Amino acid sequence: MSETTNITTKEKTVPERSREIPVIAPVVDIFENDDEMLLYADMPGVAKEDITVNIDNGELLISGVRRLPPSGTATREEFGDVEYRRIFSVHQTIDVEKVNAELKDGVLTLHLPKSEASKPRQIEIH
């Protein structure tokens, strides 16, 4: 005797949802000096228009969607459409206005300058 129970209820009129693209975290390198934090993220195949960089409330979100152009029959498929997505906590000392990003050869480079007030300063003793 077998019984199948529907775990999700689906209305008959709703069309089959097309497969969502998987979300993976891009590999990153993070560096820091007195003036800025520097982040590199690998996002091969993502065009500039499909990248989002958001800083909100101490959280940095980077996201890039890659959709490969349709291309014949795949005889080997090791990578496909994907959303690269990763969230980081950013320290209050980052000057959000001055953050800049560039994309080259599939690598997203993010410069996160530190605010002037937080840069180390030497105090002179008179």
Partner 1 sequence: MFGAMDLLRSRLNRLTTDDNRFYGRSPGWSATDGSPRTNFYDNGNQLELKAEVPGMSKEDLTIQIQGNYLEVSGTRKSDAPEGYKVHRTERETASFTRSFTLPSEVNVDKIDASLQNGILSLTLPKAEAAKPKQVSIA
* Residue ranges that bind partner 1, judged by CB under 8 A: 7-8, 20, 22-33, 37-38, 40, 42-47, 68, 71-80, 82, 85-88, 103, 105-107
Per DSSP, 98 falls in state: G
What is the closest distance, in whole angstroms, from the C-beta atom of residue 40 to partner 1 in the complex?
Answer: 7
The conformation of residue 119, written as its DSSP 8-state character, comes to S
Nearer to partner 1, 1 or 31 (CB): 31
Smallest CA-to-CA distance from 44 within 77, 75, 82, 71 is with 82
Please state the closest distance from residue 118 (CB atom) to partner 1, in A. Answer: 15
* Residue 17 DSSP class: P
How many alpha carbons lie under 13 Å from residue 61 in its C-beta half-sphere?
10
Nearer to partner 1, 1 or 74 (CB): 74
To partner 1, the closest distance from the beta carbon of 86 in angstroms equals 7
What's the closest the beta carbon of residue 126 comes to partner 1, in angstroms? 31
Q: What are 30-34's contacts with CB under 8 Å, separation 24+?
A: 34/114, 34/119, 34/120
Q: Which is nearer to partner 1, 23 or 96 (CB)?
A: 23
